Amino acid sequence: MGADGDMRSGAGRLGGSSRLDGVRVLVVDDAPYVLQVVRDILTEDGAQVTTVSSAEEALLALQWGRPDVLLSDLAMPGKGGYWLIQQVRALPPARGGVTPAAAFTALTGPEHCASVLRAGFQLHVEKPVGLDALIGAVALLANGSARSRSNGSTIQEVDSPDS
């Protein structure tokens, strides 16, 4: 996520539009530094990013701002990401109930991935995540998850190899 990532992202923008131009992303994490880094990465690639530090704030922000993608940590003080996705999926579609979502978490392994997908997330994105993998996950959700949900399939998990 250093200078190479910044140069690649900038070079991509000079050559044309980025993958995230205009995509509205809601990022939920209780760690301020994670929120800042993710905001910087996604904004540099053209996304419009809203950050909040709790699941409760995220639920309100999701209904108010109607993001294209939800990126949520799982383990947060109080109510966490599992509670959030349960609340989101209970909403009617017009209020954000079908918002494409990724669990952005340090919880790794196949059992966590399966649990995340069963809970209602479309992707399990492991922290730490590489620059390209993070942008790719958001782009995948923004561009393909509505189509995947309508036919009952799930989008594949995005691993986090460093770029």
pLDDT of residue 17: 59
CATH number assigned to the domain with residue range 20-150, chosen from the 4 options 3.40.50.2300, 3.20.20.140, 3.40.50.150, 1.10.579.10? 3.40.50.2300
pLDDT in tens, 29-46: 999 999 999 999 999 999
- Pull the structure tokens for residue 72: 């949520």
Q: Coil, strand, or helix at residue 108? A: coil
CB within 8 Å of 104: residues ≥ 6 apart: 27, 29, 38, 71, 72, 73, 125, 127, 129
pTM assigned to the model = 0.81
The pLDDT of 147-161, averaged and rounded, is 40
Angle (CA) 158-160-161 rounded to 5° is 120
Domain boundaries, the chain: 20-150
Q: Is cis: bond before 128, omega within 30 of 0? A: yes
User: Closest Cα to residue 71, out of 58, 56, 86?
Assistant: 58
Of the candidate ranges 51-65, 122-136, 141-155, the one whose mean pLDDT is the lowest: 141-155
- Pull the structure tokens for residue 20: 């995230």
